[in-house]
Structure formats: C-alpha cells, structure tokens
Structure 1
Amino acid sequence: MDRRSEIIFEHPEDSKEQQNLVMFKDFLSRSFGTSEFTSESAGDFSEDSSVKAVYYPKNSEEITVKDPSVRSTRFSKHVMYLISGYDSSGDFQNKRRYKEFYALRKILVDQWPGCTVPQLPPKQAIGNLDNEFVESRRKQLEHFLRQIARLNHLYGCDEMQEFLRGPPKFHRSDILTKQINWKLIALRYQNVFSQFSGFQRTPKVEKEIGELLGHLNNGISNLDTLIISCNDTFASACALESCFIRLVTDINSTKRFFHEKLQEYPIGPTTINPFAHLIYWCKNNTLSINGLIESIYKQYELQKLKTKLLGKIEEEKVKIAAIDKGKKRVIQFFNKKPNEFYKGVIESEILSLKSNVEDIDTILNLSSALVMFHEFPNFKQQKAQELLTELKNLKETCDDFFQVFIEKLSNIDIFDN
C-alpha cells in the first residue's frame, strides 16, 4: 500500500473511526496489487441499468482514433474522426467530431461527480483545420478514449457505449439531457464502488487530499517547464542540424576541384524530432492530471452543497419551532389552512433535504476513496512506467537523430575515383 495511504490511518480520533479505518486498510492491502481496475474490483453491474457488464478492452491500444476528414456544412467546416475498437461486446466503429467528445465528457463529469474523468484538449477557434493541429488533436482524443478504457465504471456506462456504438450526432442525443438525481447517483456509487463502503471522509482525509492537490499542481507546473525545455532543446538541435547540412554542402562543393564529374550528394533536413513523443506525453499527462484536479475540486463543491443543505435544514427547523409556538405564516391569512398542514409540509421538506445530504455524503465518501486509494496510486505507477519508456525511446531517437549526419558524412567520397 502507498505510504500516503498509510499516513491517513495513523492515530484515528475515536474507536469507531479506528475500526472502520483498520478494516479499510486491510482491504486496501489485499485489493490493489495491480494497476488495472478489474471486473471484480469494479463492483456488480447487474443491479444498475446505467452501467452495463461491458469490460474495457484487455489492451486499451485496441481503441484507435484515425483518418480525420474535413466535413463542410452550410455555414462552417469541422473535422470528423474515425473511432474503432473491440471489447467484450464485439467490434465498434463510428465517426465523431470534437463537439461530440466534448458532450461525452460533460455528461460523464455530471453523472460521476468526484470521480476522475480525463480532460480533452482545449477548443481552438483559429487554425483548427490545419493538418498539424488536426493530427495533434487526433492523438490527444485517442489518448482520452484509452484513458477512459482503463476506468471500467466510465467505459461501461450508457453514455460511453452510445458514444462508441450509437447513431450520428451524439451531441444531440436524448441521453445527454439526463438530469442530476442524487439518489440514483448514490445508489450507483454504492453498487459500483461497494468495496469502499466502510470509508468515511474524515478531517485527516481532507488534509491528505489538500496535500495531494498541491502535488498535482506542482506536477502541472513541472510538465509545462519540461515542454518548454524540450522545445528549446529541439530548436538548438535544429540549429545544429543546419550547421551539419552547411558543412556537408561545403565539403560536397569542393569535389569540383578534384574531379570533373560532380556527383551531388542528396542533402535535406531531417524530419526527426527527438522530443516529439516526450512533448506529446507531457501534454497528454497535463490533461490527465487536470482531470484528477478537477475531480478533487468537484468533491469540494459537493462538500459545499452538503453544508448548504444542512443550513437549509436548520432554517426549516426554525420554522417548525415558530409554528409550535403558535405563530402563523403570512399565507395563512389568505387560505386559512391550519398550522398542522404547514408543519407537515416543512417536515416533508426536511426529510427530502436530509435524504439529499445522505446521498451527497455517500457520493463524497466513495469518490474520495476512489481517487485517493485507487486512481492516484495507479496513476503514479502507470506514469512512472510510461516516463521510463519515454526516456528509453528518447535515447534511441537521439541516437537516430545524430546517426543521420554520421551516415551523410561517412558516405561522402571527396576524391570520387
């Protein structure tokens, strides 16, 4: 188990909390030995109609976004991307535009509050049809879908499946008009994340989440700096390339002094950017980290909403106290209804508010546990391995970058017999 998880379980404030946390600690030590969210750890989908028993592809690389094509409408142009892949339900293939990716993410954030949903590359009004921009966006949209494919609760929900397999114009689908129902969301969380049912969001957990937020923000800053450094280093590499090209050109030009027959050596700038993959990795992970940060802020919003509802409950209790003292409301002077009627209405409102508080509390507890003890530790493990792979690839690419010039120089026959 991650050291950050262990800190939370030190010195619980009371025996009940200690019992819950010890139980949960034992669960964590037994459950999270791998970086994948397996079908067993994802909960039982059978009782929740909004999450089907569709398991993500064994290899998220099976989902691809390719063949971008420009479509023209009466007033504008947009790019369509071909999405294809395979999962336990079979093959799927569909064409979607950026607007539909945006609509998908919005409904996922609304229906899975407090859970991490990877972010999309930002909108761009100018130059969004340029080939270089389209290719960059294609890669990031593919990364977005592959990240969702690692999260079974998102991948198996109705909205995601309709996006992958549904009819055209997903952004106009009726499924996107689904209203937020705290009761249904809480029931879904209890079902899908049942392994976290013993967890309570305590002040110690609040502190840890705040520290996690600080680390994630530092990570964003470091990635931004790394992108700038990569771009600066590549600019220097391009300048070095230009010097090599001029040097080879000068050497070639001296041939005419030694031989009448001048054999021109084909020289052109290389297209290799040793840092291209690392830059894309940084950009993709900036989006992933921002998704984690957004989920934490959403938890704060849920906490504020819970506090607001508790305040309303107290206000309603004050009204009941006033009725019990025989005070009448202004409206009673017009409709002549007795105090018991309005007391019943207020008590019903209090029950409704308390139900909402309980549901939000359930969502808050389960989503906090998911982020802290599953998504973040797995994210660290996954990204550390990815970075190691990227650095190994960078070393090989840099070798290739300079090998181009070595071959050009070694193949020059100055005296050309």
Structure 2
Amino acid sequence: MEENQQQISQDSNQQENNQNQQQEQQNEVHDQQQEQQQQEQQQQEQNQQEQQQLYQQEQEQQQQVSQEEQKQNLQLTQPQSQNKGNDTFHLDEFFEDDGFPINVAVTDPSIKEGVSKYILYCVKGEDKQGVFEVYRRFSDFYALRQALCTRWPGVFIPPIPPKKATGNFDAFFISERRQLFEKFLSELSKLKFLWYEQEFQTFLRSPHSDIEKALSNLPKFYYEDTINKYQNVFRSLQGKILSQELDEKIQSFTLFLKKIKDQLIKFKDQMKVLMNSRQMYDVEFDKFISFLLPQYELTCLKEYVGNIVEGKFVFAEQTEPKINNLLQELRDMTYGSKLKELYLSIKQEIYEIEAFIEAVGYVTIYENNRKTEESKVKTHEKELAKAESGKKSLFSNKSSEQKVQEQNMKIEFHQSMLDKVNQILDLIKVITGYISVEKFKKAELWSYVLENDNLTSFEITK
C-alpha cells in the first residue's frame, strides 16, 4: 500500500514537471516570436526610411522637367527615314578654339625617398587661368584619370602608362614615363571642357599634396548632373540620330581595334628585341669611337712617324673641327635612334586603344544599369498588384493603403532612375559614334606614319 502511494506521488511530480517544462517552452517560443516580429518591424521601418531618403535625395537632384520635354531638348529620336543627312558631323564644331592656347610640359623627373622610392615630375605651363607649376607623382596622374573616367562616363579620356612594379628607376623608364605623361596632358589640353573642369584644375592647382584625397572630396555627381553637363558640353550633337547603324558602327570599330591591338602587341615585342640589339650595338660603337679609334691612331703614328708631336692627333686630341662634328653626328645618330621613338609610338597606340575600349565599355555598364532598374520596376509593380488586391503578408503589419503608397513611391523612384539611365546611355552612344570614333581614326599611329611621311625616318641604319 505504501509503495503504491509513493508511485502515485512520483507520477504526480513527474507530470507537474512536464507541465512546467511545456509552459516554459511555450513562453520561450512566444518570446522568440515577439522578438522576431519586433526585428522585422524595425527592419521594415528602416528600409522604408532608407527608401524615402533615396527618393527625396533624387527628387532634390532632378529638375522639374518631364521626360518628354527632356527628350525634346536632347532631340535624340529614332530615325523616321533612311536619310543620312543628319549623320554628317564635323569635329571642328566640337573642338572649338577659345583663342587662348594652352601650354603644358612635364619636366625634371627626380627620384624621391619616402616610405618607398618614387618619381616626382614637374608639371608647368600656362592657360587662361594663369601660370602653373606643380610637382606630381604617378599616383596623382592615376587618381586624376580615374576621376575623369568616373565623372565623364563614355567620354574618351587619354591614357597614361599602366602601373609598374616598384624599383624600376632606370633612365629609359623615367624618360618614357615623362613623355607619356606629357602626351596625356597635351591631349587633355585639346579637350578644354575637361581641362577647365574641377577635376583637372584640382590636379593642376591644388596646394594639397594628397591629390587623390582632394579629388575624392569634390561634390558627388548624380545621373541628373551628368545629363545636364552633357547637354551643355555636347550641345552641338543636338539633332544627331540614334539608330541601329550607329550601334553597328561603334561595335565594328571596337572589334577592329581589338584585332589591331593584338597585332600591335606582337609588333611591340619584336621592336623591343630589335631595340635591345641596337642598344648593344650602340655601346660597342661608342667604345669604337671613344677608345679604339684614338688608340689605333696613337699606335700607328708611333710606328710610322716615331716622334709624336702634340696637337697633331685627329681622334685622340680631337683638334679637327670637321672630324669632331662627324663624330658627334655619329653619336647623335646612335643614341637618338628612331627605333626608340617608334617603340614608344607603338606603346602609346596600344594604350589609346585600351582607353577607347574602356570608354565604350560604359555602354555595357549602363545597359546593365538599365536592366537592373527595369527589373526593380517590374518587381514593385507585382508587389503593387498584390497590395491592391488586398493580399496580406505573414511578415507585415502594414495596411493595404500603406503598401500601395510605398510601392507607388518605389515604382516612381526606379522609373525616374530608368529614364535617366536611358538618357545617359543615348548620350554615350552619340558621343562615341559621332566624336570618339571619328577623332580616333585621325589621331593614331598609321596617320602619323603615312600622312606625315615619317616611315623613312625609322629605318634601321639610322
């Protein structure tokens, strides 16, 4: 009897414990659900605030002009006929001369010590803002070009030499870079809409040593800013036609450049071998002029004349002006080899092709941006349809009216972004097709060699 009572007591205690555990588990689940709901609500509120901020920010940037009025200002419309009269474009109309020439030079490269060695270049000259003289290193040139590419999407920005591993400070490398930097600035001086913009003037006249930081502190550019800027700078392109033919022109020329780039790389490699061979020849030729020829003269005179009279040596004492001039011409012809000029021209050509392909690449970038915005618009349109139908979400406590308002706001925002992306994409195509392609054809190596009759100056014997 006593054992039965003990068993009953134990069963009762066990049942009570089980009930307590179940209650604790239920309380824990309830607490977790409440915490999850609070987190979801906070996240939704945060997302809504961020979306509203983005929308307000973009609204502040855009002008009170409708999409139809903007496109009318751009006058970039699909062709109604096959008339190609509007396709005619004169580059001179774009590269207007303001009557004030720009002079710029890169001089006096010097090796400096810091955390690591680097080369400092003097950039000096004069423009309509006045005289300038600053000292810049490779990272400054690089930061400038990156800023120009980012803030002027689709515009051809002249190239600079690529980054190299540290430690290359031989005379030829420094001289080559100086020439390429000078070429970069010279080409920019022809694009005065870039020269007098904030980016370049910061590089040219900023007193701060950290040019990269100074450029990053410039006001940020939004889609609306890019559209307004391009409408103003490229106003001579108004009325130009967007067509499939223009797209094909850009694509075919880009494909041509990629093919010619591969050939130029092979040409450059062969020129490097030839140039190194010529350099070895130059060293030996200098030994011949400076040491072997005078020594031969001394030996012969001692043998055949006997008594050597000072002042009578031609090569050893270099007293004869005509001979001296001849020897100097031989040295100049050797050390000033046109092979180096040709080699550098080929490298410059490769860099310019890469810069052109980089500029055209913004077409793909903005096409991807367009797809992204189109996808977002469609997604929010689906969400709007759900909200309007009164369907409820398990994870949202918002009313149908709130959901409709939120989705309409998101659709309006992304549709506005989509319109701007399309405008910039159209502008990039027109700028590339009517300006960059035509200008590029006239400024490259084949024009330099064939039109200026310089091919004969590159013969190996010189």
After TM superposition, is the score higher than 0.5? yes
Tell me which residue corresponds to 2:213. Answer: 172
Measure, in 1, the Cα distance between the counterparts of 2:417 and 2:458.
Answer: 55
With structure 2 as the length reference, what TM-score do the two structures score?
Answer: 0.69
Q: Are residue 375 (structure 1) and residue 439 (structure 2) matched? A: no
1:10-409 matched pairs, under 5 angstroms: 17-19=78-80, 22=83, 25-29=84-88, 31-32=89-90, 34=92, 37-38=95-96, 58=101, 62-73=103-114, 75-168=115-208, 169-173=210-214, 175-176=216-217, 178-199=219-240, 201-235=242-276, 237=278, 249=292, 252=296, 255=300, 258-260=304-306, 263=313, 265=315, 270-333=334-397, 337-383=398-444, 384-388=446-450, 392=454, 395-396=456-457, 398=459
Tell me, yes or no, if the aligned pair for 1:92 and 1:164 is still in contact at 8 Å.
yes
Distance 1:213 1:397, change over 3 A: closer
Q: Deviations over 1:344-370 (max 9, x none)?
A: 121111111111111111111112111
Tell me, yes or no, if the aligned pair for 1:197 and 1:366 is still in contact at 8 Å.
no
Measure, in 2, the Cα distance between the counterparts of 1:389 and 1:252.
Answer: 46
- 3-state SS in 2 of match to 1:275: helix
- 3-state SS in 1 of match to 2:118: strand
- 3-state SS in 1 of match to 2:392: coil
- 3-state SS in 2 of match to 1:18: coil
Distance 1:162 1:331, change over 3 A: same
Distance 1:193 1:78, change over 3 A: same
Measure, in 1, the Cα distance between the counterparts of 2:151 and 2:99.
Answer: 19
Tell me, yes or no, if the aligned pair for 1:63 and 1:83 is still in contact at 8 Å.
yes
Measure, in 1, the Cα distance between the counterparts of 2:280 and 2:132.
Answer: 46
Alpha-carbon distance, 1:386 to partner: 2.4
Distance 1:83 1:243, change over 3 A: closer
| Larger-Rg structure | 2
Tell me, yes or no, if the aligned pair for 1:118 and 1:148 is still in contact at 8 Å.
yes
CA RMSD of aligned residues (A): 3.2
Measure, in 2, the Cα distance between the counterparts of 1:352 and 1:20.
Answer: 35
Alpha-carbon distance, 1:57 to partner: 5.8
Alpha-carbon distance, 1:331 to partner: 4.5
Tell me, yes or no, if the aligned pair for 1:56 and 1:87 is still in contact at 8 Å.
no
Larger mean CA deviation between 310-319 and 251-260 belongs to 251-260
Tell me which residue corresponds to 2:46. Answer: none
- 3-state SS in 2 of match to 1:147: helix
- 3-state SS in 1 of match to 2:79: helix
Tell me which residue corresponds to 1:408. Answer: none
Measure, in 2, the Cα distance between the counterparts of 1:339 and 1:172.
Answer: 48
Q: Deviations over 1:205-235 (max 9, x none)?
A: 3333221111111222232233233333335
Alpha-carbon distance, 1:76 to partner: 2.5
Measure, in 2, the Cα distance between the counterparts of 1:110 and 1:33.
Answer: 24
Tell me, yes or no, if the aligned pair for 1:110 and 1:180 is still in contact at 8 Å.
no
- 3-state SS in 2 of match to 1:70: strand
Measure, in 2, the Cα distance between the counterparts of 1:100 and 1:231.
Answer: 28
Tell me, yes or no, if the aligned pair for 2:247 and 2:429 is still in contact at 8 Å.
no
Alpha-carbon distance, 1:56 to partner: 9.3
The one-letter code of the counterpart of 2:90 is: F
Tell me, yes or no, if the aligned pair for 1:56 and 1:149 is still in contact at 8 Å.
no
Measure, in 1, the Cα distance between the counterparts of 2:402 and 2:342.
Answer: 68
Measure, in 2, the Cα distance between the counterparts of 1:128 and 1:282.
Answer: 21
Distance 1:275 1:100, change over 3 A: same
With structure 1 as the length reference, what TM-score do the two structures score?
Answer: 0.76
Tell me, yes or no, if the aligned pair for 2:109 and 2:174 is still in contact at 8 Å.
yes
Tell me, yes or no, if the aligned pair for 2:79 and 2:242 is still in contact at 8 Å.
no
Tell me, yes or no, if the aligned pair for 2:159 and 2:352 is still in contact at 8 Å.
yes
- Equivalent pairs counted in the alignment come to 361
Distance 1:88 1:318, change over 3 A: same
Alpha-carbon distance, 1:338 to partner: 2.0
Measure, in 1, the Cα distance between the counterparts of 2:93 and 2:354.
Answer: 20
Identity in percent:
22
Alpha-carbon distance, 1:243 to partner: 8.1
- 3-state SS in 1 of match to 2:338: coil
Q: Which has the higher helix share?
A: 2
Measure, in 2, the Cα distance between the counterparts of 1:110 and 1:123.
Answer: 19
The one-letter code of the counterpart of 1:157 is: E
Measure, in 2, the Cα distance between the counterparts of 1:34 and 1:115.
Answer: 17
Tell me, yes or no, if the aligned pair for 1:186 and 1:360 is still in contact at 8 Å.
no
Q: Which runs of 5+ in 2 are unaligned?
A: 1-76, 317-326
Measure, in 2, the Cα distance between the counterparts of 1:35 and 1:226.
Answer: 36
Alpha-carbon distance, 1:241 to partner: 5.9
Measure, in 2, the Cα distance between the counterparts of 1:239 and 1:108.
Answer: 41
Measure, in 2, the Cα distance between the counterparts of 1:246 and 1:144.
Answer: 37
Measure, in 2, the Cα distance between the counterparts of 1:222 and 1:386.
Answer: 17
Measure, in 1, the Cα distance between the counterparts of 2:86 and 2:128.
Answer: 28
Measure, in 1, the Cα distance between the counterparts of 2:152 and 2:164.
Answer: 27
